[in-house]
Amino acid sequence: MEENARIRLAHGGGGTLMQQLIDQELRRLYADPQQLLHDAASLTLPPGQLAFTTDSYVVQPLEFPGGDIGSLAITGTANDLAMAGARPLHLSVALILEEGLPLSLLRRVVGSMVAASRACGLTIVTGDTKVVERGKADGLFINTSGIGVVEAPQAIHPSRIAAGDQLLVSGDLGRHGVAILAARHGLQLDPPVLSDCAPLWPLVQQLLQRGVGIHCLRDLTRGGLASALQELALAAGLTLQIEEEQLPVIEPVARCCDLLGFEPLHLANEGRFLAVVPAESIDRVAPLLETWGGGWIGSVLPERGEAPVLLRTAYGSSRVLRPLSGELLPRIC
């Protein structure tokens, strides 16, 4: 296809152009680009409990500092599996293309998906492509579904959160939200802030190999750390308290939030998680997470207080950490 070519409605019509699109642009998503394509993939799965998840991605802009919609779609779904203590194995990919999308942009996104699938250690085994009229899809939407095998010896679930558990994060906060904000509005940040989009399974696997009895994991996507804390506190029926001075926020993100009036705790991440672990595991968990830029941030209080989540300030006082009442930054994932 010519370098300046664009998606046409006929690319989704099941005819010659669609076959050309699949053969020239999309086959490289598969581990074996020459495999015979069929309506369904036949899989041989390892023994044990399986985890299954699905997600859709509508980020705008399609490319941003540190990633694009392709790397986001692969990594995001792999990370959802990791949060259940599951090693990512296989993925399906469905593309909804808008008429007029540059083929060069699609080519870059597909390349990012290939690289991300290798980084996540999974294979793309089946897929689908649809084309809609100009103005109906904002360029490109992606849906992915993933299968993984659970390697955690016990369920990792909000129902296991208990009083006295400790709260840790795996890295600094708010970076993806600031990266999207800068790309969308043309902000020239110095130094530039890159999205934290990255696979989480390698770190989760290390925790499991250390024998950490993880009670719960939650990736910090839409709504950031604040929303994750709210969801887990409500599910557990307990109050979670975090320490303001322990929250890891890099200086460029903090400066951007101060300038624009944002709260880093409400901004999205795409390569960070909140871990809830029993107190006796803290010495095995904290040093590892600190090497990734994270660490201990708080604990689960002995009983439910007046608010689900409390933030203790640097002055020793406490304030209620409330969830967002609206959409702070739409179309971030």
Is 70 exceeded by the pLDDT of residue 3? no
* Mean residue pLDDT across the chain: 94
Is 80 exceeded by the pLDDT of residue 2? no
Q: CATH homologous superfamily of domain 158-320?
A: PurM-like C-terminal domain (3.90.650.10)
Chain-centroid distance, C-alpha 196? 9
For the beta carbon of residue 33, count every other beta carbon within 10 angstroms.
11
Phi, then psi, of 231 in degrees rounded to 5: -60, -45
Q: How many whole angstroms separate alpha carbon 52 and alpha carbon 192?
A: 36
Listed by start position, the domains of the chain span 9-150, 158-320
Q: Over the stretch 154-179, which tens digit does the pLDDT of each residue have? A: 999 999 999 999 999 999 999 999 99
Q: How many whole angstroms separate alpha carbon 282 and alpha carbon 161?
A: 15
Q: Over the stretch 258-297, which tens digit does the pLDDT of each residue have? A: 988 899 999 999 999 999 999 999 999 999 999 999 999 9
Q: How many whole angstroms separate alpha carbon 173 and alpha carbon 220?
A: 9
Q: Over the stretch 199-227, which tens digit does the pLDDT of each residue have? A: 999 999 999 999 999 999 999 999 999 99
CATH for the 9-150 domain, from 3.40.50.720, 3.30.1330.10, 3.40.50.20, 3.40.50.1820: 3.30.1330.10
Buried/exposed 12-22: b ≥16 CB within 10 Å, e otherwise: beeeebbeebe
130 to each of 22, 55, 125, how far by Cα in Å?
A: 11, 17, 18
Q: What is the pLDDT of residue 1?
A: 55
